A and B are shown apart, each in its own frame.
Chain A
Amino acid sequence: MTGLGHRLHRPGSTPVHRLPPQCKLVATAAFVLAVVCTPREAVWAFGGFALLLAAVAALARVTPGFLVRRMAVEVPFVAFAVLLPFVARGPRVEVLGLALSQSGLWSAWNILAKASLGTAASVLLAATTEPRQLLLGLERLRLPPLLVQIATFMLRYADVIVGEMRRMRLARAARGFDGRDVRAFGVLARSAGALFLRSYERGERVYLAMLSRGYDGRMPVLNEIAATRAQWAVAAVLPVAAVLVASGAWMVG
């Protein structure tokens, strides 16, 4: 399988996988919100959040190795956080012979902890929910239908466009084109233009095909399955626990 999102998804049939996507989306968002609202000085609370996620990961049979590898998107933020103790002003502390800014250290910790927890939660969501299901979840949460439609089409046609791109590259290579030259830029720019035109024309043809089958601006609702109360309750366990931890952190601190 190629394509967007498929590398993130791990098929399975655990209770986490089986929850309706809209429940998981809301649970993830609420969890992240609770994490973000927690004061950075309450270090123990972040340990608690991490434990909660670890429990969900274990339930979903997502291995720690997979989780860590997929969290690589976070790296730029980490790099930024590492800089902070060096550049921030204010009182300094001595760490391993280096004078680091105290507030910078706290800021770095704040970014690192919250970003990691947020990323881990999103990776877990993506690992247990097919991209298609995610979109269905968004639709059922009454997101603007146009946005969901656009994302749905992206999901459907990403492979087609990537395939077209690959064929164009092959066609260039077959006629002796070598992209490692400065003069190549012009050719590449024209190829990009051609790709855009082709995608645009495809869009037009798809639209005609949709009209032919009675499309009048609104997608028909095909998957209107409401989640049961029990399912919402199960999904609520994670955010409720997180909110408890976060309020604990406020009261203690």
Chain B
Amino acid sequence: MTPSLEVSGLAYAYPDGTQALYGVDVTIGKGERVALLGPNGAGKTTLVLHLNGILHGGLGTVRVGGLTVDPKDRKGLREIRRRVGIVFQDPDDQLFMPTVREDVAFGPANLGVGGAELERRVETALARVGMLEVADRPPQHLSFGQRRRVAVATVLAMEPEILVLDEPSSNLDPAGRRELAEILLGLDVTMLMVTHDLPYAAELCPRSLVLSGGVIAADGPTPEVLGDEALLRAHRLELPYGFDPAFFARR
């Protein structure tokens, strides 16, 4: 079976000369849920922006479901952006339309979906994150947690094969964090989740990658990665006080 995502030898420097990625290799199989861990400035967001061809021009290749990301191939890029749904860190960046409904419709409408099918997609996506009742409100009047959920819905409406989330639990209150986890666990997609919230990674993702200094420093089952104290210390990762990764290993 072709893997959902194959990144090989990916290196990238920003136009100002900052080298953010130094050759990243990652393969993620269909239906896997993988956490991408790493300290601030490790290059996580940079990697994420490569997955649907927003950033390009460095070395290496990215393949999504066997299709190579090529910025010159406009039709292919469209297909890639349908397959890879990215939920950005700040929901205010993601929700730019005047109402929630229009925002959720934006993606599928760009893909050429319209009429009753568009309506159905919007309603299903909003229902999956429990936000159907705010459909006609402007995003700026929602609470932060509601906006984060709607941001997830905007991507779900595109029916992606890979869901990529950049720090989904940041700024959420504990209940909002748990509710989002329940929503994410209920989705049947390949998932790559960037997070600083190690217990969240342990709860949601059986496998973890550690990106540090622009290279993959570790790749393995989450309980093992989180159980390796030397590894965590070397890459500025810290478990919350009293947290025992073995608890998740036993589950």
B47 to A: closest C-beta gap in Å: 14
- Chain A residues with CB under 8 Å of B163's CB are none
- Give the bracket for the number of chain B residues in contact with chain A: 20 to 34
Additional A-B contact list (19), CB under 8 Å, known A212-B86, A213-B106: A132-B99, A135-B98, A155-B98, A159-B140, A160-B92, A202-B92, A206-B96, A208-B54, A208-B88, A209-B94, A212-B81, A212-B88, A214-B78, A214-B110, A215-B106, A216-B110, A220-B109, A222-B105, A223-B102
Q: A209-B88, A220-B110 are in contact. Are A214 and B82 (CB under 8 A)?
A: yes
**Can you list 8 A-B contacts (CB < 8 A)?**
A132-B138, A208-B93, A209-B88, A214-B81, A214-B107, A214-B110, A220-B105, A221-B109
Q: Indicate if the CB atoms of B98 and A132 lie closer than 8 Å.
A: yes
Closest chain A residue to B109, Cβ basis: A220
Q: Indicate if the CB atoms of A214 and B111 lie closer than 8 Å.
A: yes
Closest chain A residue to B88, Cβ basis: A209
Q: Indicate if the CB atoms of B106 and A211 lie closer than 8 Å.
A: no
The answer for the CA separation of A155 and B140 in the assembled complex, in Å, is: 10
B23 to A: closest C-beta gap in Å: 24
- Chain B residues with CB under 8 Å of A132's CB are 98-99, 138
Chain A binding surface SS class: helix
B97 at the interface (CB under 8 A from A): yes
Map CB proximity to A onto B82-117 as digits: 1 under 8 Å, 0 otherwise. Answer: 101110101011101111001001110111000000
Q: Indicate if the CB atoms of A212 and B54 lie closer than 8 Å.
A: yes
Closest chain A residue to B49, Cβ basis: A208
B154 at the interface (CB under 8 A from A): yes
B100 to A: closest C-beta gap in Å: 12
Q: Indicate if the CB atoms of B107 and A205 lie closer than 8 Å.
A: no
B208 at the interface (CB under 8 A from A): no
The answer for the CA separation of A211 and B52 in the assembled complex, in Å, is: 9
- Chain A residues with CB under 8 Å of B98's CB are 132, 135, 152, 155-156
B165 at the interface (CB under 8 A from A): no
